[in-house]
A and B are shown apart, each in its own frame.
Chain A
Amino acid sequence: MPAITSSSVPPSVAGVDRNLDMSAHPAAIQATGLDFYYSEHQVLFNVSLTVPERSVTALIGPSGCGKSTFLRTLNRMNDLIEGSRCVGQILVEGQNIMDPAVDVVLLRKHVGMVFQKSTPFPKSIFDNVAYGPRVSGETNRSVLADLVESCLKKAALWDEVKDRLTKSAMALSGGQQQRLCIARTLATNPRIILMDEPASALDPASTDRIENLIGELCANYTIVIVTHNMQQASRVSHQTAFFYKGVLVETGPTMKIFTGPSEKKTEDYITGRFG
């Protein structure tokens, strides 16, 4: 078996330093001792993970390892699943979001989410991006127009759609739809963005654009991304967390995880021996 060397890891996207030790950075998310159950079936076991501010954390692991479930606990999207139960503590910017007093509507504005399948609403491009601000009560047309423009620019979509903002979002290509969903999430002005395999349904060129976008966004946003694609994890993240059978096996700077993991299980997964 060839030893893993840093030269075998693909180059990172601009804006992501994979050697940086982020442990000194202030934490955006601190999960401690998290157990998660679907009815009686436990899918997360004592997961503790700290996500530094303004960085990209990649969650990797084989299918069914609990990485998506963990991601969804961070904005309490699992609340929608009947019979699910979560034990432990998650601090988002210092506040415990498991507190029953937490308003999930406010939490989700603060912690945005992009899904695997792009899910544009059957509305115009403009209305898609303006949806978040509108449900929070923004009605001023010029404010909305400015917001839509700046979010589409941040999502690197403005030049492609500026002449057809009133046209259906469903007419966009898969990659454009996914960037629209990112723009839509940015419009709620979140500080944290969760991405659940955002590029797994896209072609290589669109994937490339999304990855570069993640590199740009992490200057201002904290990003947690779930991905099946290990090369993608190595390209876009500062920090990588490896999940296996509901347990967080190892966390560390991405370069370290990909070149010198301390756990045997991680190394086996990274080198493609299983998963």
Chain B
Amino acid sequence: MSTRGSGTPIVAGQQSAPVSFISGTDGSIRRRLFLSRVFSWTCRFVTYAALAVLIVLLAAIIWSSVGRLAFDFVYNPNSSNPIKAGMLAGLWGSFWLILFTALFSVPVGVGSAIYLEEIAKDSFFVRVIKTNISNLAGVPSIVYGILGYTVFRSLAAVLKVWFDGQHAFNILGLFRLRLLKLPIYEDNILVGALTLTLVVLPTVISAAQEALRSVPSSIRVASLALGATRWQTIWRQVIPAALPGISTGVILSTSRAIGEAAPLIMLGALTITTMVPGNIDSPVKLITRPLQVLHAPLDQFTAMPIEIYDWSKRPDPQDRFTAVAASGIIVLMLVLLSVNAVAMVVRHYASRRLKW
């Protein structure tokens, strides 16, 4: 039997007593309203508490950066003098790393997601892969660092021997990159980017899978019913419909690699260096120095988080490197914010081509 708020049962053919709508006149409602308010205030409190921690952290960092943060911080190389130390090498290192990480992880990640969601038949094997991709996202990045060291760095060491031409196996000696008169390193950008690709690949695949799953299957069925092949359906319907989701998801998960320090330190990335990969220290040189651009992927590097880590633990009697580390954090956060902004713009343009 249904009851009203007042608890009066409704009897057929008999009108129930009128109920007062004035608040506070009904005990059970008062109790429920109270609980509801307690719940909403609890939610509000935890949200603001988390926000407050963030704001305090941000304020502390900005406060600490006073004394070093200036424009020259982004174009000065690193230095043992805290007044001069800048982030140029880290910025360029991170730029090259993220560029190649994206180049490796986007095709592999999106391709795997398309295979898993659109092409693979449901089988035990496929289900094992799907489950383990999310598990892989939880693997600590230092583990990928060890893997990268064992596989990619060792591979680079072999290639270095071949290219350097000081070895019996010098079969590629003719094409030595020594033509550039620049050395090759085994702890180079490509090795770092390949390792970071392993770190971000699970999240890239998951993000792309999520975007593909959100495309209604009625679109696929309708396309197939019109005589489109599976490939035409994927290429002309599914991918365009999933593109806003794929691109933002992929940009955001790739940008996580910008903040990774552990696997790079594991690989032997430089900590204290003034060296910029390929000696390209300004955007103009990306165009004017093609040979150096070619060399950059095979050069040693450092990255923004590594420099921050190094500055924050550097012993200094007057603690002057704290301001440098704080400035580094601010630059890193600004870079991350602008990557997120790019993701938003990309999403906007990708969805504008769709006519939902």
With contacts A122-B354, A170-B356 taken as known, whether A115 is within 8 angstroms of B221 at the C-beta atoms is yes
Mark the stretch among B72-80, B87-95, B226-234 that contacts chain A.
B226-234
Q: Is the CB of A122 within 8 A of B222?
A: no
Minimum CB distance partner of B218 in chain A: A119
With contacts A117-B218, A121-B219 taken as known, whether A131 is within 8 angstroms of B228 at the C-beta atoms is yes
Interface string of A133-152 (1 = CB under 8 A from B): 01110000000000000000
Residues of B close to A181: CB separation below 8 A: 222
A204 to chain B minimum Cβ distance, whole angstroms, is: 24
Minimum CB distance partner of B354 in chain A: A122
B46 to chain A minimum Cβ distance, whole angstroms, is: 38
A/B pair count, beta carbons within 8 Å: 72
**Residue B348 at the chain A interface, CB threshold 8 Å:** no
A131 and B218 alpha carbons, distance in the complex (Å): 15
**Residue A109 at the chain B interface, CB threshold 8 Å:** yes
Q: Is the CB of B221 within 8 A of A105?
A: no
A113 and B122 alpha carbons, distance in the complex (Å): 26
Q: Is the CB of B229 within 8 A of A124?
A: no
Interface string of A205-226 (1 = CB under 8 A from B): 0000000000000000000000
With contacts A119-B218, A121-B223 taken as known, whether A168 is within 8 angstroms of B228 at the C-beta atoms is no
A82 and B127 alpha carbons, distance in the complex (Å): 15
Residues of B close to A185: CB separation below 8 A: 225-226
**Residue A112 at the chain B interface, CB threshold 8 Å:** yes
**Residue B355 at the chain A interface, CB threshold 8 Å:** yes
Q: Is the CB of A132 within 8 A of B227?
A: yes
A91 and B232 alpha carbons, distance in the complex (Å): 27
B350 to chain A minimum Cβ distance, whole angstroms, is: 12
Interface string of B110-150 (1 = CB under 8 A from A): 00000000000110000000000000000000000000000
B237 to chain A minimum Cβ distance, whole angstroms, is: 6
Residues of A close to B314: CB separation below 8 A: none
**Residue A240 at the chain B interface, CB threshold 8 Å:** no
Residues of A close to B232: CB separation below 8 A: 135
Interface string of B211-249 (1 = CB under 8 A from A): 000001011011111111100100011001100000000
A86 and B229 alpha carbons, distance in the complex (Å): 22
A265 and B245 alpha carbons, distance in the complex (Å): 52
Residues of A close to B219: CB separation below 8 A: 119, 121-122
With contacts A122-B355, A124-B355, A135-B232 taken as known, whether A82 is within 8 angstroms of B121 at the C-beta atoms is yes
**Residue A59 at the chain B interface, CB threshold 8 Å:** no
B122 to chain A minimum Cβ distance, whole angstroms, is: 6
A112 and B222 alpha carbons, distance in the complex (Å): 10
Q: Which residues from 227 to 273 on chain B have a C-beta closer than 8 Å to any C-beta of chain A?
A: 227-229, 232, 236-237, 240-241
Q: Is the CB of B223 within 8 A of A113?
A: no
Q: Is the CB of A105 within 8 A of B241?
A: no
Which of A105, A113, A131, A168 is in CB contact (< 8 Å) with B229?
Answer: A105
Residues of A close to B224: CB separation below 8 A: 77, 80, 108
With contacts A168-B356, A169-B355 taken as known, whether A122 is within 8 angstroms of B226 at the C-beta atoms is no
Minimum CB distance partner of A108 in chain B: B227
B347 to chain A minimum Cβ distance, whole angstroms, is: 15
**Residue A50 at the chain B interface, CB threshold 8 Å:** no
Residues of B close to A54: CB separation below 8 A: none
A80 to chain B minimum Cβ distance, whole angstroms, is: 7
**Residue A184 at the chain B interface, CB threshold 8 Å:** yes
Residues of A close to B122: CB separation below 8 A: 82
A184 and B219 alpha carbons, distance in the complex (Å): 13
**A80, A106, A135, A169 — most chain B CB neighbours (10 Å):** A135
Residues of B close to A170: CB separation below 8 A: 355-356
Residues of B close to A131: CB separation below 8 A: 223, 226, 228, 236
A181 and B222 alpha carbons, distance in the complex (Å): 9
**Residue A75 at the chain B interface, CB threshold 8 Å:** yes
Q: Is the CB of B218 within 8 A of A115?
A: yes
Q: Which 3 A-B pairs have the closest CB atoms?
A: A168-B355, A109-B227, A119-B222
Given A119-B222, A184-B226, A188-B226: 16 more A-B contacts, CB < 8 Å: A82-B121, A105-B229, A108-B224, A109-B227, A112-B226, A115-B222, A122-B354, A122-B355, A123-B355, A131-B236, A132-B226, A135-B227, A135-B236, A170-B355, A170-B356, A188-B227
Chain A residues in the interface with B (C-beta under 8 A): 75, 77, 80, 82, 105-106, 108-109, 112-113, 115, 117, 119, 121-124, 131-132, 134-136, 167-170, 181, 184-185, 188
* Between-chain CB contacts (< 8 Å), 13 pairs: A82-B122, A105-B229, A115-B225, A119-B221, A121-B219, A122-B219, A122-B355, A122-B356, A123-B354, A132-B226, A135-B232, A170-B356, A181-B222
Chain B residues in the interface with A (C-beta under 8 A): 121-122, 216, 218-219, 221-229, 232, 236-237, 240-241, 354-356
